[in-house]
Amino acid sequence: MSDVVEKTLTALPSLLSLDSHPGSAKLSSTSKLGNLIRGITELTSKHEEEKLIQHELLAIKEQVSSPNTTMRQMKELMVRSIYCEMLGYEASFSYIHAIKLAQQGTVLEKRVGYLAVSLFLNESHELLLLLVNTVLKVGVGLHNIHHTMPKREFRIFDCRVLCSQDLQSTNLIEVCMALTVVSQMFPKDMIPAILPLVEEKLNHPKEIIRRKAVLALYKFYLIAPNQVQHIHNKFRKALCDKDPGVMTASLHIYLQMIQENPEAYKDLTPSFVTILKQVVGGKLPMDFNYHTVPAPWLQIQLLRILSLLGKNDQSTSEVMYEVLDESLQRAEMNHNITYAILYECVKCIYTIHPKSHLLEKAAKCIGNFVLSPKINLKYLGLKALTYVVQQDPKLALQHQMTIIECLDHPDLIIKRETLELLFRITNGQNVTVIVEKMLEFLCISEDDHTTIDLVGKVAELAEKYAPDNEWFIETMNTVFSLGGDMMQPDIPNSFLKLLSEGFDSVEEDRKLRLFAVNSYIPLLRGEPGKLPQRFLQVISWVLGEYSHLREDLEPAEVLSLLAKLLDMKNSSSETKSWVLMAMTKLCKGGADASVTQEVSETYSSSLDTVLRQRAHELQYLSQDPELRARVLPRGAKPETLEVDSSLSFLDRFVSEALAAGAAPYKPPHQWQEELDQSKALSLEPYGLSLPISMSSCSITDRQSPTLLSMSSGLSGDSADLSHKGGSSALKLDGIKRVWGREGYLAQREPVEEAAQVEVPSPIQSPGRQGEGDSLHSQTPTQTPTPEPEQEKQQLASSLFVGLASQSSVSLMGKSEPTPQRFRRKAKGQGLGSSFNANEQISSSLISPPSAVDNLLCNNLLDSNNSSELAEQTSQLSQSLTTANGTCHAEAELTESDTKGCNPALRRDNCVVAAGPGPHNDPGRLTEVCLDSYLPAELSGLSHSEIAPLCANQSLNLSACHVQKEDSLILVVFIMNSSESAIQQMLLQVDSEELEVSCLCNSLAGEVTSHSVAVGQYSLTVKRPAVHVEVVGTVSYQLPAGTSQSLQFSYKVPLTSFIRPFVVSTEEYGTMWLSFSHDTKQNLTLINDNQEPLTATLNALKKKLQLHVVEVIGMEGIVACRLLQDLPCLMHCRVNAGWLAVWLRSPVPDLPDCLIYHCQRALQSL
């Protein structure tokens, strides 16, 4: 039929030019758009089209700016501008007129105006502000009309605006238009302006308006969740709306909210189940049917919500079994839409707590999908299989022949999806076959995104399951060649790291390295110009480090091969600097000298500074073998380099600069905040920003596909999560956890299925299996020609080997039949790390070899959970002791900063050695006795060491601070060291950053000789700073009558004000969204024997008195508050050997201060 249309189209120009014909005459006379279209169709070249459109645009431009143009004409002009823009020509001059049209036109003109606006402007366009006004006007106008005007006036008003009869409907159209535009393109900082009006519409009598209002709010929620938080109860009202359409619309918001925090909405489960029951039972009006299926959109939405609610929650899951069963049964019609429902049903059943008879049905469904002759269903079947295969590998076994057929499917999409499935079932036994298939696909794939993704997967499988050295190196060579320069930089990074760190056996390491060297030499001898830059960089590094392992290879030869790379035209300067580095390692003088001399001379005058530096290094080191041996020792073990990321060695410089009047440093984000005058909080959407969420992890974290899904969101998580405790709300998309060692598999295996499914050995003929399986009878493999069949069977046995045994161990981690060859040490520097020659070498060498295996990690997590519980119970009792710990730590930390007056702290009886300065001595002498002057109510609590502040002939001032649970008390001791009494003593204490309130003052104005007066002040933080300072003055009168004063200052570390902040995960989530000040930084992880995240968090907790809210996998959330009530939340995630920390607080500067202290705390360990 399409041919007919094409004929029509080709005939179009001639037909349209038949001016004599009445139809086309009308077209040409009344419609300029028609003219334009006709004109374009007649053209033969792109160039002509360009000319015509430019001409057209000029004409439009002239007309739109003419004052005589009516709105009606304007509407027509806009349509033409839209057309031109659609063809790819810019008509920006018309944008402002589009807005004008939306502002001033009649309803229909407005509509075109809005359409033009929505097509022309994007979110950031400056003209949008004008549009907001327009929308507001409409909104406000209507708002006023509805609520304030008497009915008659309202009619008059409307008539004037719209010149039409049907008031009600025209009105609606206007509101609808405004809402549509609002939902489509509203910039987030303008939401507050429009929000109340949209909210208002939730109560509109017309359901279509309510629907649109709800959807508009949904969009707002996605853009800026914290701004619509206050209307949650209105969402509930929308959920209960009598119009099913409004209710359906509200489900979008619920899906989003439940995704972020399922725990908070568990109570709605029965309601959702009831709604679904009613829908499935056909209780909705016929209007909602789609091809006789009742409200499929609604059904699917509900199924998604239910799967989120039922995940890892047996009791909630039980509520929904019945309705899921019913949904499966009802959806039996042979139509796409029912398949869509079935697919969602299956996903839901496999996500929630397992129920055996539902799983059977779901498995059957997946079977039907996979075996379907319809290609779309097959595709979805494969996706579903990928999703469930880790918990139910037998399902893959059942369909192995189909899978193999899909592997040779002519449609690349199907092929690609099959590889995804195979990737999930890879083990030590089938890895070579699967990787081979993947590489085959890579050779034909043209899509960059697919290549990057697949290359990453191959690299990962190779590292994980490589059967031997040769295979590993060869596979990686292919990966580097095919992946080219697009691949993720961490692939070469971790490959080099793996080589350099080595494994358990020295001999094995040597062999692996030698093999790598051996494989690279022929590559360089061949046509190195064809290899990607990244690969060349890897080759140069490996040759530089390990070519000495091959004894028959002269360094001179390697050097000349490397020098050849330098001469190649397409070598990037990055590659060149790698090559130069490698040459520096290799050159020994003597015969090599000429080559190196030449090279270093060429590049020592290079414009590229890095290259120039490398060249100079090469020059000097090649001439001085002794120095070279010291700088670049051969076979050196990777060492850990300490990097002081907080730059604390500059503290002194900074404080001096500050004292000299320099402006304090502001981090860039703070600058921006100050620049942004907008009142709106600039927050990214929760789901995207908080890295706990699944989506962000799966995209960024290529390295752990066993832990997270990679490109396919369908895939469940891996065994890693299976040990995790059940109650946490912030889960990754886990489906595995529910599968215990003798969990579901044992329950659900009915005898007959076991008979056909429990393929005892991988060698078993798949054909036979097919006979036993009724589903298989549908496959075309039943009567194949013998030869390809045999091939396929062979392939099947090699692909699905190990699966059966794997299933019987029930997936407690990927328990391998063969030991993993390359047991990974900690993964290399992450995605973000640039693949820079200078940094890379060091970073790949320095990372401490913290061998954290996934399984190990799990165990630790478990113990961690329990220990955390114990800690929580004893938290109150502990808090004071930890306070001591804090003081202790601070003592060391603050030493360097506070010079003259050193508030060295002491921990009960053990005095921390504080550097004895000249001022200290008098303080020290009096210290013991001052202790006893500590007010009785404070004496039981831990206090910092009593530090001398200042002294003169008559007075000795000292101070300390005492940590109480809800306050910090500053105690000032004034000792009269003179022989006579001191009178009219007045002590004043103040601070810029702190709120100081006097608690009790025993200074009765007079201090007798050799006695001590004590002042107590309660301190709370007004404005956070890294160190806060209290300044004070003592004024007094000597008996002689001369009045004197003495000034002092006392520094208190901010850490003394930190208290644990006990919140639940849900509360944390809510608060997180509402806090506007944040900062992000990478901290070093503690790598002792423990799991690094837990170890680091525990250390922070101990040192800084933080409260660890929850630890999930590689992430942890921590909360603390600064006295009195300045909360700060901290989100930590282990990422590529670092602890990526993100702090948020309602208080400016607090996150920055806290991050500083975290850094210091971790360094001091």
Partner 1 sequence: MRFLLLFSRQGKLRLQKWFTPLTDREKKKVIRDMMMLVLARPPRSCNFLQWRDLKIVYKRYASLYFCAGLEDKDNELLALEVLHRYVELLDKYFGNVCELDIIFNFEKAYFILDEFLMGGEILETSKLAVGVSMEEADTLQEEEKEQEEVGKTDKERFACGRGLRE
Q: For partner 1, which stretch binds (CB under 8 A), given 178-186, 275-283, 498-506, 766-774?
A: 178-186
Could you tell me the two tokens for 1023?
């404005």
When the beta carbons of 2 and 785 are compared against partner 1, the nearer one is: 2
- Minimum CB distance to partner 1, residue 349 (Å): 15
**Minimal CA–CA distance to 367: which of 396, 331, 326, 324?**
396
- Minimum CB distance to partner 1, residue 96 (Å): 17
Q: Parallel, antiparallel, or unpaired: how do β-strands 1027-1037 and 1043-1053 relate?
A: antiparallel
When the beta carbons of 12 and 136 are compared against partner 1, the nearer one is: 12
* Interface with partner 1 (CB under 8 A), residue from 130, 362, 403, 414: 414
Burial of residue 70, with CB atoms counted within 10 A of its CB: 0-12 exposed, 13-18 middle, 19 or more buried: exposed
Q: Helix, strand or coil for residue 88?
A: coil
Over the range 760-773, which residues count as b (16 or more CB within 10 Å of their CB) and which as e?
eebebebbebbeeb
Burial of residue 588, with CB atoms counted within 10 A of its CB: 0-12 exposed, 13-18 middle, 19 or more buried: middle
- Interacting residues with partner 1 between 301 and 340 (CB under 8 A): 304, 336-337, 339-340
* Interface with partner 1 (CB under 8 A), residue from 59, 108, 521, 1062: 108
Measured CA to CA, the distance from residue 420 to residue 458 in angstroms comes to 11
- Minimum CB distance to partner 1, residue 385 (Å): 15
700 binds partner 1 (CB under 8 A): no
Taking CA atoms, 338 is separated from 241, 275, 598, 614, in Å, by 26, 18, 73, 65
When the beta carbons of 167 and 1062 are compared against partner 1, the nearer one is: 167
**Minimal CA–CA distance to 303: which of 349, 271, 336, 260?**
349
132 binds partner 1 (CB under 8 A): no
* Interface with partner 1 (CB under 8 A), residue from 375, 755, 925, 998: 375
- Interacting residues with partner 1 between 204 and 263 (CB under 8 A): 208, 211-212, 215-216, 218-219, 245, 248-249, 252
* Amino acid at position 1065, single letter: T
8 binds partner 1 (CB under 8 A): yes
1075 binds partner 1 (CB under 8 A): no
13 binds partner 1 (CB under 8 A): no
- Minimum CB distance to partner 1, residue 779 (Å): 18
- Minimum CB distance to partner 1, residue 780 (Å): 16
* Interface with partner 1 (CB under 8 A), residue from 42, 83, 192, 371: 83
Q: For partner 1, which stretch binds (CB under 8 A), given 121-129, 562-570, 626-634, 1083-1091?
A: 121-129
- Interacting residues with partner 1 between 285 and 304 (CB under 8 A): 287-288, 290, 295-297, 300, 304
* Amino acid at position 112, single letter: V
- Is residue 194 within 8 Å of residue 182, measured between CB atoms? yes
- Minimum CB distance to partner 1, residue 294 (Å): 10
When the beta carbons of 26 and 652 are compared against partner 1, the nearer one is: 26
Binding mask 446-465 for partner 1 (x = CB under 8 A): -x-xx---------------
Residue count at the site for partner 1 (CB under 8 A)? 91
When the beta carbons of 46 and 569 are compared against partner 1, the nearer one is: 46
71 binds partner 1 (CB under 8 A): no
104 binds partner 1 (CB under 8 A): no
* Interface with partner 1 (CB under 8 A), residue from 13, 33, 924, 941: 33
Q: What is the DSSP letter of 954?
A: S
Q: What is the DSSP letter of 581?
A: H
- Is residue 393 within 8 Å of residue 739, measured between CB atoms? no
Measured CA to CA, the distance from residue 542 to residue 509 in angstroms comes to 13
646 binds partner 1 (CB under 8 A): no
Burial of residue 206, with CB atoms counted within 10 A of its CB: 0-12 exposed, 13-18 middle, 19 or more buried: middle
**Minimal CA–CA distance to 120: which of 159, 149, 79?**
79
167 binds partner 1 (CB under 8 A): no
**Sign of the torsion formed by the C-alpha atoms of 490, 583, 849 and 840:** negative
- Interacting residues with partner 1 between 843 and 902 (CB under 8 A): none
Binding mask 680-699 for partner 1 (x = CB under 8 A): ---------------x---x
- Minimum CB distance to partner 1, residue 291 (Å): 8
When the beta carbons of 113 and 1032 are compared against partner 1, the nearer one is: 113
283 binds partner 1 (CB under 8 A): no
- Minimum CB distance to partner 1, residue 115 (Å): 5
- Interacting residues with partner 1 between 799 and 818 (CB under 8 A): none
Measured CA to CA, the distance from residue 172 to residue 162 in angstroms comes to 12
Contacts of residue 1031, Cβ cutoff 8 Å, sequence gap at least 6 = 989, 990, 991, 1047, 1048, 1049, 1050
- Interacting residues with partner 1 between 341 and 360 (CB under 8 A): 343-344
Over the range 124-151, which residues count as b (16 or more CB within 10 Å of their CB) and which as e?
ebeebebbbebbbebbebbbebeeeeee
Contacts of residue 33, Cβ cutoff 8 Å, sequence gap at least 6 = 76, 79, 80, 83
- Interacting residues with partner 1 between 715 and 754 (CB under 8 A): none
The helix, strand and coil proportions of the chain, stated in percent and rounded to the nearest 5, come to 60, 10, 30
When the beta carbons of 32 and 361 are compared against partner 1, the nearer one is: 32
Q: Parallel, antiparallel, or unpaired: how do β-strands 289-290 and 293-294 relate?
A: antiparallel
When the beta carbons of 241 and 463 are compared against partner 1, the nearer one is: 241
444 binds partner 1 (CB under 8 A): no
Tell me if the bond preceding 1124 is cis, omega within 30° of 0.
yes
When the beta carbons of 21 and 51 are compared against partner 1, the nearer one is: 21
- Minimum CB distance to partner 1, residue 52 (Å): 15
Q: Parallel, antiparallel, or unpaired: how do β-strands 968-976 and 1012-1021 relate?
A: antiparallel
For 368, phi and psi rounded to 5 degrees? -60, -40
678 binds partner 1 (CB under 8 A): no
637 binds partner 1 (CB under 8 A): no
Q: For partner 1, which stretch binds (CB under 8 A), given 32-40, 143-151, 510-518, 616-624?
A: 32-40
Measured CA to CA, the distance from residue 1158 to residue 1132 in angstroms comes to 12
652 binds partner 1 (CB under 8 A): no
For 1043, phi and psi rounded to 5 degrees? -95, 140
5 binds partner 1 (CB under 8 A): yes
**Minimal CA–CA distance to 237: which of 262, 261, 201, 186?**
201
- Minimum CB distance to partner 1, residue 5 (Å): 5
- Is residue 392 within 8 Å of residue 349, measured between CB atoms? no
89 binds partner 1 (CB under 8 A): no
667 binds partner 1 (CB under 8 A): no
- Minimum CB distance to partner 1, residue 411 (Å): 4
Q: For partner 1, which stretch binds (CB under 8 A), given 81-89, 425-433, 613-621, 721-729?
A: 81-89
When the beta carbons of 290 and 665 are compared against partner 1, the nearer one is: 290
411 binds partner 1 (CB under 8 A): yes
Measured CA to CA, the distance from residue 857 to residue 863 in angstroms comes to 10
- Interacting residues with partner 1 between 1108 and 1147 (CB under 8 A): none
Q: For partner 1, which stretch binds (CB under 8 A), given 411-419, 469-477, 834-842, 893-901?
A: 411-419
Q: For partner 1, which stretch binds (CB under 8 A), given 149-157, 372-380, 423-431, 1120-1128?
A: 372-380
23 binds partner 1 (CB under 8 A): yes
- Is residue 804 within 8 Å of residue 397, measured between CB atoms? yes
When the beta carbons of 176 and 264 are compared against partner 1, the nearer one is: 176
